[in-house]
Amino acid sequence: MTMSDLVRIAACHASPVFLSAKATTAKAISLIQEAAKNKANLVVFPESYIPAFPIWSALRAPTENHDLFKRMALESIYVDGDEVNAIRATAKQFGVLVNLGFSEKVRYSSATLFNSNLLIGTDGEILVHHRKLMPTFYEKLTWAPGDGHGLQVADTSFGKIGVLICGENTNPLALYSFTAQGEQIHISSWPAIWPTRLPPGILPTPGEEIPNGNASDGKAAVSSVARGVNYDNVAANRTRAAAHCFEAKCFGILCAGYLGTDAIEIITSGASNPKVVSQALQKSSRGATMFLDPTGTLLPGFTIDSKTSAQEQKDFLQEAEGILYADFDLGDCIEGKQYHDLAGGYQRLDVFELKVDRRRRQPVVFK
């Protein structure tokens, strides 16, 4: 491949078949087949696509979630299991790269899970197996911390590709470790929603008036945190992904999940306050799937009609499922390096030193 070649990306803005590893794997294979038919070179899935993202931990008390955790543990998958093997075989069959987010279980425990990601090569081989360094906030109720083994950029026939999961894209040291490996395409995977508060109006407080933060009314502007506003998932995700694209001079793929009606029904069922949980799920801001260029600027993508093959330009996908495509010219990663090559000519290697431990951690070492 030459630097002037275009790489076609297919980002799957899709929901899992909630808490069903088998059915979600079948859906993933179908999406890979569709993307390959549309000449995609790299097919990307959201965070923890198989079997689901445990969003119930944000909205239900831990004491209510034992059954959901048990289902999550049973439906999480092994890295050498049937589900991953089927997706590897599909990648090889169609000659595409596949990036898969999944909840990983391990053979030394019945309930230790990791928020994991695989980058699978065109020959079906696993190029990078990454476990999220640190589960974020309520994710700690489901997943254990990972390790540095997956902080690797894969040098593929379609560019140098790295991936971090959700909140890891806030970690400047992890991001720099990818810059220092010459990353050209950075994948960041995200959940469908990630509420930190209940949306306004679900649990009104009698007599409480939330300031609107409008400086024109003579009052001082109030931050969104002080106003009790939910975490702006879309803005936050784009901000950190764009910052990395600008600093690393790489393309960005933000692939977010989609919240299906089956997820809403399952998470609501058995909740002590099902109405609140249901409304919170439905009213929380949806994650968006989008692309960024090496300056951090939004790169419009397009959808492809499955019947007519007609293309329609889309800035992002958010409110409906689909596959968003874009064509990356990796030659566009060069110009910005003239100005700020943070791992090369614009770095002071005599002043700063970063060490990364890539050892895969095990619970015991037998000798």
The answer to whether 148 touches 136, Cβ cutoff 8 Å, is no
| Residue 319 annotated as catalytic | no
**How many degrees, rounded to 5, is the angle at CA 17 between CA 11 and CA 19?**
115
Q: How many CA atoms lie within 13 A of 139 on its CB side?
A: 28
Which positions ≥6 away from 366 have C-beta within 8 Å? Answer: none
Which positions ≥6 away from 186 have C-beta within 8 Å? Answer: 161, 162, 163, 164, 178, 241, 244, 245, 248, 250, 251, 252, 253
Q: How many of the other CB atoms lie within 10 Å of CB of 223?
A: 8
Paired tokens of 265: 């029904």
| Residue 367 annotated as catalytic | no
Sheet holding 311-314, edge to edge: 126-131, 113-120, 97-105, 42-44, 6-13, 322-329, 301-304, 311-314
Q: How many CA atoms lie within 13 A of 96 on its CB side?
A: 27
Catalytic position from the list 27, 105, 166, 247: 166
> Both ends of the chain: CA-CA distance in Å?
45
| Residue 39 annotated as catalytic | no
Catalytic position from the list 132, 160, 249, 314: 132
Q: Of 46, 75, 83, which Cα lies nearest the Cα of 165?
A: 46
Sign of CA dihedral 78, 82, 85, 91: negative
Catalytic position from the list 47, 75, 104, 247: 47
Catalytic positions:
47, 132, 166
